[in-house]
A = this chain, B = another copy of it.
Amino acid sequence: MHLRLQPASPEPRTVQSAFCPRYQFAIELLGRRWVGAILRVLVAAPARFNEILAAIPGLSDRLLTERLRELEREGIVTRNVSADRPVRVTYGLTECGHSLDAIVVAIGDWAERWVEVE
């Protein structure tokens, strides 16, 4: 199972009750440790490695590196290196990554409404 680099042509909506390996892949991707938090940062704007790290308490340097590499491999995150000096490296979302924006915002809204911090 992998992510397409190009969007597929629209397909008829599948029956929601049928098990769907694609849905399973997507929800496990979103739920992978730290991925949701990283996406939430990048939905707002591209960011440097240290900015992402600072925005997510508890996330280690090593794990952020690992997650960003995975997300790059999956075509969700893109690494941009500026042409000018000093070189500035930022991470942003690809088209595929940005198509998760509405989902990230909707999960945030749901959490705002239903999850209580004690």
A interface list, Cβ under 8 A from B: 1-4, 7-8, 10-11, 13-28, 30-32, 36-37, 40-41, 43-45, 47, 55-57, 96, 99-100, 102-118
Complex: chain B residue closest to A16, CB-CB = B44
Q: How far is the CA of A37 from the CA of B16 in the complex (A)?
A: 10
A99 touches B108 (CB 8 A): no
- Min CB distance A96 to B, Å, is 5
B45 touches A7 (CB 8 A): no
Q: How far is the CA of A3 from the CA of B111 in the complex (A)?
A: 9
Q: From B26, B32, B104, B116, give the contact of A16 (CB < 8 A).
A: B104
Q: From B27, B28, B116, give the contact of A1 (CB < 8 A).
A: B116
